[in-house]
């Protein structure tokens, strides 16, 4: 029964990211997961609401990324909103840290997917928050493109 719901090709996107932020640069990082978390990801039980990345102890962590509990787990359940370490090279971590501190940018998760080898990867982005008028411009552009497609 559990095998029917598990997917091999998982690609879950943060839909609010492009609306809330201007994406400047993207990176792909591995995630340090526990046993039941990968099974929950394969069942697409991930929520990006309020997720962001922060630097701690010479590493980068993703916070508030909600990976729901795996339904068929026994007593080895995980905390859905725990901080998860991202696996990047030292050069990339230092580069991200410099850019985020220098220009007061933020690092947000864009999507989570499973690569060819079966490992969960998180695409993160160096982003700048949009102002209200920028969001209005985005809405106008989207509405215009919809009208053009309909005609």
pLDDT in tens, 106-131: 999 999 999 888 889 999 999 988 88
Q: How confident is the model over 55-91, as pLDDT tens digits?
A: 998 899 999 988 888 777 666 777 778 899 999 999 9
How many domains would you assign to the chain? 1
CB 129 within 8 A of CB 21: yes
Stated pTM of the model? 0.78
Question: Has residue 17 got a pLDDT over 90?
Answer: no
Rounded to whole angstroms, how far apart are CA atoms 98 and 105? 10
Rounded to whole angstroms, how far apart are CA atoms 62 and 43? 20
CATH number of the domain where residue 128 is located? 2.40.280.10
Query: How far does Cα 27 stand from its chain's mean position?
Result: 11
Residue 113 confidence (pLDDT): 92
CB 47 within 8 A of CB 109: no
Q: Look up residue 58 and give its DSSP letter.
A: T
- High-pLDDT (> 90) share of the chain, %: 28
Rounded to whole angstroms, how far apart are CA atoms 126 and 112? 16
Q: How confident is the model over 24-60, as pLDDT tens digits?
A: 999 999 999 887 888 888 888 888 888 889 999 889 9
CB 50 within 8 A of CB 109: no
SS3 83: coil
Residue 77: which residues within 8 A CB-CB, separation 6 or more?
Answer: 36, 69, 70
Which residues constitute the domain of residue 71?
Answer: 2-150
């Amino acid at each position: 029964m559990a095998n029917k719901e598990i997917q091999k090709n998982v690609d879950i996107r943060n839909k609010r990211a492009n609306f809330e932020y201007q994406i400047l640069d993207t990176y792909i990082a591995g995630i340090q997961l526990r046993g039941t978390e990968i099974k929950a990801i394969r069942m697409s039980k991930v929520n990006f609401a309020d997720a962001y990345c922060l630097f701690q102890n010479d590493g980068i962590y993703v916070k508030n990324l909600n990976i729901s509990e795996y339904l068929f787990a026994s007593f080895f359940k995980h905390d859905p909103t725990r901080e998860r370490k991202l696996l990047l090279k030292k050069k990339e971590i230092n580069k991200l840290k410099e850019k985020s501190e220098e220009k007061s940018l933020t690092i947000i998760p864009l999507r989570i997917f499973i690569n060819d080898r079966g490992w969960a990867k998180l695409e993160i982005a160096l982003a700048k928050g949009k102002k209200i008028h920028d969001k209005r411009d985005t809405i106008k552009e989207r509405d215009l493109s919809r009208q053009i497609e309909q005609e």
